Amino acid sequence: MALTPAFARDARPGEIILEQCGDKLKRVKATGFANIELSVDMTPHNVVRIASLTKQFTATAILTLMEDGRLSLDDLLSQYIEDTPPYWRAITIRQLLSHTSGLTADMTPVFRRLHDEFTPEELVRLFETLPLASSPGSKWRYSNLNYWILGLIIKAASGKPFSVYVNERVLQPARLGETRYGDQRDIILGRSAGYEIDSEGNNMNARLFSTSIGYAAGGFVSTPLEIVRWYEALSNGEILAVETINLALTPVKTNDGISTDYGLGWYITRADQSAVAHHGGSTIGFTSYIYWTPEPFAFVGIFRNWSDAEGEPTGLAYDAFVGMKCM
């Protein structure tokens, strides 16, 4: 069907809001379009790019390797990656997971080459000449570079490429059939188009960029319903032991004993004496935010196939989580 200019201007990209307490899905709200040009409604089954929500799969993969005795969180990254810069050699896996490594958050080397295809090794090498922003363990600083390096550590410790290991050890046990590394060239049924909304509210198709940049920090796609299933699997002990989950949801401290409010892959806050984990995902054309607590199980997720100047729907997700009153 041909869309009128007015429809193309006024139609909105999609948004999914999911709320679950225990084993009961309390709310599923779907609005807008998965594809405006084809007039396809958004549903919880549509595949969306989850950006930095990928980090939780990467963190879990590292923790499975820890449980299996194939690495220690206090191992140095130089034990797994050859020819690392001298100033990287004191960085531990725990510091990479918790963003306390001191590695730079400057993504300029990537932003200069958004359309280039990189191997994971090439991606990391873009940053080898940049100095540390702080000494390892001294400060918290969110950086995708931490998780790109963790992807290489997973490869070295498991003997398998990052995406293969995560699929076999994390996704399959959780019975996640729609969650995967989201190469733009692949045919993925139900994939949502991505949109950008400018300051005047106009819709535009999202700019193209190389999906190789996402890798272990932001390269996955999934469906909103599968993300709920993912957090059920974590809460039920299907992937990691309860003790390991508790470790991941304990805020890491810097060398001087200051809490970072970030664990091993999640931001951590407190509510009614329980640890509440949360995280967002943001990329060109997609944004999301989730809140989650394993016991009792409570989850809120908001997923959008659009991005704008406001960024991730953090406040909306928080208000929905607090408003559920199921803790």
Q: pLDDT confidence of 227, banded at 50, 70, 90?
A: very high
Q: Cα(327)–Cα(325) distance, rounded to whole angstroms?
A: 6
The answer to whether 166 and 126 are in contact (CB under 8 A) is no
CA dihedral 162, 314, 41, 323 (to 10 degrees): 120
Whether residue 136 has pLDDT greater than 80: yes
Q: Cα(133)–Cα(145) distance, rounded to whole angstroms?
A: 12
Q: Cα(176)–Cα(165) distance, rounded to whole angstroms?
A: 14
Compute the average pLDDT of residues 301-308: 97
Q: Which pLDDT does position 141 carry in this prediction?
A: 97
DSSP 16-79: EEEEEETTEEEEEEEESEEETTTTEEP-TTSBEE-GGGHHHHHHHHHHHHHHTTS--TTSBGGG
Q: Give domain limits for the chain.
A: 5-324
Three-state SS annotation for 203-265 = EEECCCCCHHHCHHHHCEEECHHHHHHHHHHHHCCCCCCHHHHHHHCCCCECCCCCECCECCC
pLDDT in tens, 242-293: 999 999 999 999 999 999 999 999 999 976 667 899 999 999 999 999 999 9
Q: pLDDT confidence of 121, banded at 50, 70, 90?
A: very high
Q: pLDDT confidence of 10, banded at 50, 70, 90?
A: confident
pLDDT in tens, 34-58: 999 999 999 999 999 999 999 999 9
5-324 folds as Beta-lactamase (3.40.710)
Q: pLDDT confidence of 193, banded at 50, 70, 90?
A: very high
The answer to whether 81 and 152 are in contact (CB under 8 A) is yes
Look over the chain and give the mean of its residue pLDDT values, rounded to a whole number.
Answer: 94
Full-model pTM: 0.94
Residue 224 Cα distances to 75, 115, 301, angstroms: 35, 28, 7
